[in-house]
Amino acid sequence: MGIVLKVNMIAQLVITGFSFGDVPVFGYLYGRKNHEKLKQMLIFCQQFLSGLSIVLTVLIFVGAPSLIRVMMNQQVILDEGALMLRYQVITTWGAAVVLLLTCLFQSMGKVIPSFFLPISKQGLIFVAVLAVLVKCWDIRGY
């Protein structure tokens, strides 16, 4: 799991970098009350981050065995690690959406929504998905 998290973190950090790079522009446009341009910028950023996250997801999904093999060359770890990495990387698009909206709310000074978006992703949604997986497919994480 450590290898999987490190490989997945590469994609997440690329998405994070692009998301947080938008903060000054969002803040400027919101402060100038240029809501039309802000909306256009948000749509562009969402399309860009969605495309980027899909490309990263496909690259990592397809290359999962090779990426795990770089770190460890034991067959059991390759098989389990590739499967875990594929499960992890399919959430990249959702993380891109949450990060972009969090950055938007932070740049607008909306503290409460920018606080609850990451909490809901890591808390509410993660716990709900775990509960469903345990009940439906008996996936327990060991």
pLDDT tens, residue by residue, 39-48: 999 999 999 9
State the Cα–Cα distance between residues 72 and 105, nearest whole angstrom.
Answer: 41
Q: What is the predicted pLDDT for the residue at 137?
A: 73
> 53, exposed or middle or buried, with CB in 10 Å at 0-12, 13-18, 19+?
buried
142 pLDDT more than 60: no
Q: What is the pLDDT of residue 115?
A: 74
